[in-house]
Amino acid sequence: DADTDADTGEPGFRYGNAASEDFYQGTWSGRVLSNDTDVANIRGCEAGTGWQAIDAAATADMLEGTNQNLYIDHQRTPVYGEDVCDWMNLEALAAELDARGSDIELMAVFRDDETYEEYQAAISGVRRLAAEHPRVKAMLSDDSNEIFGIPKDPMITDHLGPAEAAVLHELAASTTESGAPVAFMPYIPSEGVAPLLADNTVVIGARGCNDDCFLPDGSAARDGDYYIYPEDIIEVTVQFVPTDVTADQTYNLNFLISDFIGISGLTYVVDVVFAFDGVEVGRYSMVDATDSDPSLQLVELPIAGLQDGVENTLQISIDTAGTNATKYLDRIAYIWDGRITAPDGSESLLDITSITGRLERGTYAAERDFTTATMHATSNRAWRIRDHVDGTLTKFPLLSKNYDEGIHERFLEATCRSFKAADQPCLEVVWANDRWGEELVGLPGQPSLLPYLHAAQDQTDGVVLWMNTANLYDTTKGTMAPRAPWDEDAHSVAAGFGPNGLPIPGWYHRWSITAAEDGDYTVHWSDADATSAPEGRLYRTAAVNGAYTHEIELNSTDADLPTSTISVRSGDTIDLGVELRAGFGYAMFASQFGLTAPSGTTVDLSTATRTTGANAGTTQLYECFMQYFTSHDHEAACDTDSP
């Protein structure tokens, strides 16, 4: 970075435009696909023609043109095959970047519902690519808190554990297996970091269950086995050694804490109680005061009487305040990243020497022989896979109800601390579209993303955009490009996408003309391969002067009608198009359009004004991220006008 501080002439730190050998700016799942026009190729993956095929040159142009140095490709098939579309696309992009001499790195990510054997096969496939294309650096697993066991999992589970993580790690790093070594880097969202990656996480509470409630031996459980009753003891003792403390001063012990209840209005209480020397010093309620309570919070404990240089004891327990905490929710809290803040504001990590638990049923439950096996009062050691990974990607909850700049930055620092010490990458993943209208940070009217991006640049090794709308970089390419009608007698334009593209919120194509005649215009429209469209997703639309006259859902009875009429006056604006209004998965479709004037004259829509794009929120996020990636002057692009 050539920027300098005007006062000293020394290199100055600036936010944004940060891609370097030490910092990633990247996209996860944003490949630009083929813009071939022939609907006959909608299922194809042949380079240059298949609608599922990557446009490797356009994708590389997007990455280079927006100052990105990492692309993470989503793979739906774990077993490598030369004729498997996702693998073909990754190879094509690698070859294109090789030909350009680019320094962009590639990683492959696999779904969270594969088997243990399939993850091994996936690693072997990535190793194979890495041997031919050294820019392929890592195998990632998506939502790894769904792959590897965590404390809230059912008693009977097929989740993997630390032993399987060790095998996957060894396979990825092997110098004797075929292919080239790659990094093993599970993506772990915030709710999985405390049990899977952190040091000395306290796990306290009880699992939940609904209909399928089991005991460890596989036998059916009774409801009471999963209840927490008032007399039950769920308690953890944490021993820690503070230094440079004096007993006559008050210090602040503080932790990150999260739980899994997440709703309000329950009839029971589940409090986490903190006590020092037998005196309560703090309390945290798992039962939310409102449904908007954030999922990750800070608990602060003022404590006097700390003994310097020797073990001190903090006791953590569950209190239901005389209520029966029923079985249907996971009443589990994670308490981690312990720190101690001195009266002068200085802070240090809490030196925890031991975590021990006590589980004991009270009289009512004991008389009925209800088990404690559904309960936790322990550390995260049984679930921790940190020693078996080469890096990680994580994501803080970006709903505006979770907005807290301080907790976000602390979460990143806590998550990445051990990775930075080991010189291993730790990246933050952020949502890069509007998630169909959810109240996300960074959207118009919501809090700004800039404090989050700045914290990521301070605390992590990179920012990765999940579902980046990369096609907005060049709307003449990919699914933003028009297609050719397959019935040219009645239709002159078409749009659509194949089954290998992730949905773009608010994706649309629109053709606009000025009516030259008064009367009824006839719209000709039909679809191809739209039967895979779920309900309430895709709509063909007609509008006059901006007001909809037709909103026809694809794959509905109305969509079977080949024509519709719209009444206009000369000079009115007619808009015809197609819009995506909800998530579409990997479905595919194409729609074609034609227009006949009242006089019977065919209107050539290919000469009409065509617009295409995404909804306002997704466009706002794209412009913010791309400006941040390419410039130090990004504030205006990321301004959300939040009050």
Q: How many domains does the chain have?
A: 3
Residue 487 resides in a domain: no
Residue 86, sorted as left (phi over 0), alpha (psi -120 to 50) or beta, turns out to be alpha
pLDDT of residue 12: 53
Given 379, 406, 425, the domain boundary residue is 379
On the 0-12 / 13-18 / 19+ scale of CB atoms within 10 A, 59 is buried
CA distance 360 to 256: 26
- Two tokens, residue 168: 């996957």
Does pLDDT of 343 surpass 50? yes
Q: Which of 48-57, 84-93, 115-124, 530-539 has the lowest mean pLDDT?
A: 530-539
Per-residue pLDDT, averaged over 335-346, amounts to 98
CA atoms within 13 A on the CB side of 129: 31
CA atoms within 13 A on the CB side of 444: 8
Q: Which residue has the higher pLDDT, 436 or 116?
A: 116
Least Cα distance to 589 among 642, 525, 637 occurs for 525
pLDDT of residue 136: 99
CA distance 234 to 332: 11
CA distances from 329 to 207, 208, 231, 337, 488 (A): 7, 5, 19, 25, 57
Same domain, 98 and 160: yes
CA distance 20 to 279: 51
Residue 18 resides in a domain: no
Per-residue pLDDT, averaged over 603-619, amounts to 97
Does pLDDT of 10 surpass 50? no
Q: For residue 377, what are the β-bridge partners? A: 204
- Helix 85-100 and helix 56-65, axial crossing angle in degrees, nearest 10: 60
Same domain, 193 and 214: no
Same domain, 279 and 134: no
Residues contacting 66, CB < 8 A, separation 6+: 473, 626, 629, 630
Does pLDDT of 562 surpass 90? yes
Same domain, 246 and 367: yes
Q: How many CB atoms lie within 10 A of CB 559?
A: 19
Q: Which of 58-62, 440-444, 497-501, 594-598 has the lowest mean pLDDT?
A: 497-501
Given 379, 398, 418, the domain boundary residue is 379
> What tens digit of pLDDT does each residue of 226-240 get?
999 999 999 999 999
Q: How many CB atoms lie within 10 A of CB 355?
A: 22
Same domain, 229 and 327: yes
Q: Which three-class secondary structure string do you get for 551-590?
A: EEECCCCHHHCCEEEEEECCCCEEEEEEEECCCCCCCCEE
Same domain, 510 and 599: yes
Same domain, 109 and 167: yes
Residue 624 resides in a domain: no
Least Cα distance to 30 among 91, 74, 89 occurs for 74
pLDDT of residue 5: 39
Does pLDDT of 574 surpass 60? yes
- Do residues 640 and 620 touch, judged by C-beta distance below 8 A? yes
Same domain, 423 and 530: no
CA distance 33 to 359: 56
Given 323, 351, 379, the domain boundary residue is 379
pLDDT of residue 131: 99
CATH number, residue 212: 2.60.120
pLDDT of residue 642: 63
Residue 620 resides in a domain: no
Per-residue pLDDT, averaged over 78-84, amounts to 97
Residue 562, sorted as left (phi over 0), alpha (psi -120 to 50) or beta, turns out to be alpha
Least Cα distance to 240 among 346, 341, 354, 316 occurs for 354
How high is the mean pLDDT of the chain?
94
Same domain, 461 and 526: no
pLDDT band at 334 (very low <50, low <70, confident <90, very high): very high
pLDDT of residue 162: 98
SS3 501: coil
> What tens digit of pLDDT does each residue of 578-588 get?
999 987 666 78
pLDDT band at 102 (very low <50, low <70, confident <90, very high): very high
Dihedral sign for Cα 288, 293, 296, 301, please.
negative
Q: Which of 84-98, 290-304, 456-470, 477-491 has the lowest mean pLDDT?
A: 290-304
Residue 101, sorted as left (phi over 0), alpha (psi -120 to 50) or beta, turns out to be left
Residue 67 resides in a domain: yes
SS3 456: helix
* Helix (H) / strand (E) containing 496: strand 493-497
CATH number, residue 402: 3.20.20.80
- Two tokens, residue 541: 């639309």
Residue 1 resides in a domain: no
Per-residue pLDDT, averaged over 116-143, amounts to 99
Does pLDDT of 222 surpass 90? yes
Per-residue pLDDT, averaged over 442-458, amounts to 94
Same domain, 238 and 343: yes
Does pLDDT of 357 surpass 50? yes
- Two tokens, residue 343: 């009266």
pLDDT band at 401 (very low <50, low <70, confident <90, very high): confident
- Helix 405-421 and helix 450-459, axial crossing angle in degrees, nearest 10: 20
Does pLDDT of 611 surpass 80? yes
Q: For residue 580, what are the β-bridge partners? A: 538
Residue 467, sorted as left (phi over 0), alpha (psi -120 to 50) or beta, turns out to be left
Query: Which residue blocks in 281-425 are alpha helix, DSSP H?
Result: 363-367, 405-421
pLDDT of residue 643: 53
Same domain, 316 and 392: no
pLDDT of residue 358: 99
Which residue range forms the structural domain that includes residue 417? 24-197+386-471
Largest CA distance in the chain: 95
pLDDT of residue 532: 67
Residue whose structure tokens are 């003309």: 513
Does pLDDT of 556 surpass 60? yes
> What tens digit of pLDDT does each residue of 308-325 get?
999 999 999 999 999 999
Does pLDDT of 8 surpass 70? no
pLDDT of residue 536: 86
pLDDT band at 2 (very low <50, low <70, confident <90, very high): very low
Same domain, 319 and 294: yes
CA distance 570 to 599: 12
- Two tokens, residue 105: 């790195």
- Do residues 501 and 575 touch, judged by C-beta distance below 8 A? no
Q: Which residue has the higher pLDDT, 585 or 618?
A: 618
For the chain, what percent of residues have pLDDT higher than 70?
Answer: 97
pLDDT band at 3 (very low <50, low <70, confident <90, very high): very low
Residue 182 resides in a domain: yes
Residue 236 resides in a domain: yes
pLDDT of residue 554: 87
pLDDT band at 211 (very low <50, low <70, confident <90, very high): confident
